[in-house]
Amino acid sequence: MQKRNFIMKTRRILSVLLIVTALFSTSCGSKSDNSAPKKAKNVIVMIGDGMGPAQVYSLILTSQEQTAFERFPYSGFSITKSASNEITDSAAGGSAIANGTKTNNGVVGMDPDSIPVPSMLEIFAEQGKKTGVVVTCSVTHATPADFIAHNITRKDNEGIALEISEKTGLDVLFGGGKKYFTERKDSLDLLGKMWENGWNIYDSLSQIEDNNAKTMVLACRRHMVKAPERGDFLPDATAKAIEMLDNENGFFLMVEGSQIDFACHDNDSTTLVEEMRDFNKALNVVLDFAEKDGNTLVVVTADHETGGLTIVDPQGKYTRTDFKWTTGSHSAVFVPVFSYGPGAENFSGVMDNTVIINKIMDVAK
Ligand code: MG
Ligand code: ZN
């Protein structure tokens, strides 16, 4: 009898303990639910066109100092295949990053049925954020076009220029490609029309006077010259864009290391390293701002790898490193994703390129 009482008492004590534990864990749970994760006011997406793991490693091997890539607390891998091909091109690869939908190679900002899909730049503009794009290629080229245009083919540079000239919700556009605005088959004066619509348009960053006006810099007829001949255009343009876009409602900026891809198509190892150095400078500009700001999510990735680059000792003796290129085209390998700032932890692991936009939208405010 006594023994039974003892057991019942023990059971009662145990159940009280369980309830107390449950209460505590609920209150702890609800407490952490209330302290919502930090949101990002600003979002900066940086795309190294053609930048696979070996391209990043080529910079690390040739740098005396720590590279910007080593400043990111989180990293992951992105799956880049397109709707039509296991090996994507920049149009479909960038489109998936920009709007979260796989499309066919060659298509810009549309799904495989040619229905336009809004890009994150357009969604952020709709939400009242300032937006900008900085590249070293023509502003009508596939990657920038994925964020600011919708066209069934990346080859339609003049059509994409026309769309840009009529675009609302874009505040800053720096790159090349003037000829598609001024030397057109339809003879339209797109730049004249844009000036009338309130745009300031210049040939160089140094001509910018009004930080608050919508501003386009077209620094050359088509693509800019390669690094290091073009100087610090990319890091300087990135710094200027941030200065012009930063405002209380936040901003979205896309910065592209456009010509990493060009160097890799040419299997030009020396230029690849120069292009990576240039992109690295732009990354440091962005990270320095994000560190100071504290409200900026930075996501760096690539649309695909170019050149099938690997770095080996041809004799297999571990004594030297040679760059070995296996194609003049793109390849189907993982590309890296690096992230910094509020929500950066969501970008680790293996992810499809189409989920990057969701992860960004989840943390943006
Ligand atoms: Mg590109
Ligand atoms: Zn390419």
More confident residue, 21 or 141: 141
Confirm if 224 and 230 have CB atoms less than 8 A apart: yes
Q: How confident is the model at residue 271 (pLDDT cuts 50, 70, 90)?
A: very high
Q: Ligand 1 centroid vs 292 CA: distance in angstroms?
A: 29
Q: How confident is the model at residue 268 (pLDDT cuts 50, 70, 90)?
A: very high
Give 306-334 pLDDT, tens digit per residue.
Answer: 999 999 999 999 999 999 999 999 999 99
Q: Ligand 2 centroid vs 46 CA: distance in angstroms?
A: 16
Residues in the chain, total:
365
Q: Ligand 1 centroid vs 19 CA: distance in angstroms?
A: 59
Q: Ligand 2 centroid vs 247 CA: distance in angstroms?
A: 35
Quote the pLDDT of residue 9.
54
Give 104-161 pLDDT, tens digit per residue.
Answer: 999 999 999 999 999 999 999 999 999 999 999 999 999 999 999 999 999 999 999 9
Q: Looking up tokens 């760059």, which residue turns up?
A: 323
Confirm if 86 and 333 have CB atoms less than 8 A apart: no
Percent of the chain surpassing pLDDT 90: 89
Among 34-48, 71-85, 201-215, whose mean pLDDT is lowest? 34-48
- Residue 21: pLDDT above 50? no
In angstroms and rounded to an integer, the radius of gyration of the C-alpha atoms of the chain is 24
Percent of the chain surpassing pLDDT 70: 90
More confident residue, 106 or 21: 106
Among residues 45, 160, 72, 184, the alpha carbon closest in space to that of 110 is found at 160
Q: How confident is the model at residue 10 (pLDDT cuts 50, 70, 90)?
A: low
**Interacting residues of 357 by C-beta distance below 8 A, sequence separation 6+:** 97, 98, 99, 100, 120
Q: How confident is the model at residue 33 (pLDDT cuts 50, 70, 90)?
A: very low
**Which residues crowd ion ligand 2, with CB under 5 Å?**
261, 306
Q: Ligand 2 centroid vs 88 CA: distance in angstroms?
A: 9
Helix (H) or strand (E) holding 350: strand 349-352
Q: How confident is the model at residue 341 (pLDDT cuts 50, 70, 90)?
A: very high
**Interacting residues of 7 by C-beta distance below 8 A, sequence separation 6+:** none
Q: Counting ligands in written order, which one lies closest to the CA of residue 327?
A: 2
Q: Ligand 1 centroid vs 264 CA: distance in angstroms?
A: 12
Q: How confident is the model at residue 11 (pLDDT cuts 50, 70, 90)?
A: low
Tell me the C-alpha distance between 135 and 139, whole Å: 7
Helix (H) or strand (E) holding 93: helix 90-99
Tell me the C-alpha distance between 234 and 281, whole Å: 8
Q: How confident is the model at residue 31 (pLDDT cuts 50, 70, 90)?
A: very low
Vertex 192: Cα angle to 191 and 194 (nearest 5): 60
pLDDT averaged over the chain? 93
Confirm if 49 and 89 have CB atoms less than 8 A apart: no
3-state helix, strand, coil in the chain (%, to 5): 40, 20, 40
Half-sphere exposure of 168 (CA within 13 A, CB side): 4
Q: Counting ligands in written order, which one lies closest to the CA of residue 95?
A: 1
Q: Is the dihedral of CA 333, 101, 93, 245 positive or negative?
A: negative
Q: Counting ligands in written order, which one lies closest to the CA of residue 264?
A: 2
Q: Ligand 1 centroid vs 31 CA: distance in angstroms?
A: 45
Collapsing DSSP to helix, strand or coil, 166 comes out as coil
Q: Counting ligands in written order, which one lies closest to the CA of residue 330?
A: 2
pTM above 0.85, yes or no: yes
Q: Which active-site residues does the annotation give?
A: 90
Other beta carbons within 10 Å of 323? 19
Query: Which whole number is the average pLDDT over 283-296?
Result: 98
Q: How confident is the model at residue 28 (pLDDT cuts 50, 70, 90)?
A: very low
